[in-house]
Homo-oligomer: A and B are copies of this chain.
Amino acid sequence: VGVASGTVVGVRRPLMEAAIYKLSRLRDLSEEDTVFVRQAAKVSDRFYPGADLCREGERPPARVIVSGWAARARVLPDGRRQIFAFLLPGDMIGVQPQPTITSAVTALTHVETADISLLRDAASALGPRSPLAEAFALAAEMEENLLLNHIVRLGRQTACQRLAHLLLELGERLAAVHEADECHFRLPLTQENLADALGLSLVHMNRTIQQLRHEQLLRLRCGQVTLLQMDRLHALADFSPRQLWRPTAAVTSEARSWEDRSPRRDPSFAASRPY
């Protein structure tokens, strides 16, 4: 049978533990609410590594990941792959009212999921102002925020920064579901997985890891990561934890204040001249 990832060896955590940790991190829940969530605690499916929780274009049933890691990804016609996001215990799929998924979700390790369609319906029955419904909405918001973070990584960061930023983010998320310290956790990913997420080649991913290792910022052994010198890592990656849980406090380094400036010219028309 083997021990599912995300459980201490030999000790089985209550199934909905991760989901409850995550939801209450986003929004205070009453005792009743958590009981509500726990009702869904029945493993509905298990997936082998490489199996699809959901294929491109399918509408998946509402599920929460109980244990294991998965990835949202799209395969390009030339066979290369882009991973959009990693799904950790406590993360949900198919919860939105119209849960079309425009990317496949693939298990990276053994994955156990629980069906939460009843829970979702119950939550929406409680009304959009109920703590539980709000927690779901905040989870969706956080998920979008993760996509935006990923865009910034790919668009504006170097390979080292991307890796550091991603690992810090994963550490935060895992810590929230009590699967890790922020600076030491299990990382059941191959270097190829990381490369597919960070838009790098496998070879360069390897060299990037070695560089961070060499600079004493990282230890990566036996599928375990240890982040060293968190302050230097934060500085290198320009990572702030609040980027995950709250709307990013305006960074506004030298963002010009636009409001008071009614521009002489409308760029929309400036573009109307030949160049």
Contact = CB atoms under 8 A, between A and B. Distances in A.
A189 B269 CA distance: 10
A56 B251 contact: yes
Contact of A148 (B102, B187, B250, B255): B102
A113 interface: no
A50 B258 contact: yes
A268 B188 contact: yes
Interface string A240-275: 000100111111111100110111001111011111
A17 interface: no
Interface string A211-248: 00000000001110000000000000010000100111
Contact of A151 (B51, B154, B190): B154
B266 A109 contact: yes
Contact of A52 (B58, B101, B259): B259
A32 interface: no
A36 interface: no
Contact of A56 (B49, B137, B250, B272): B250
Nearest to A249: B57
Interface string A44-87: 00001111100111100000000011000011111110101000
B253 A188 contact: no
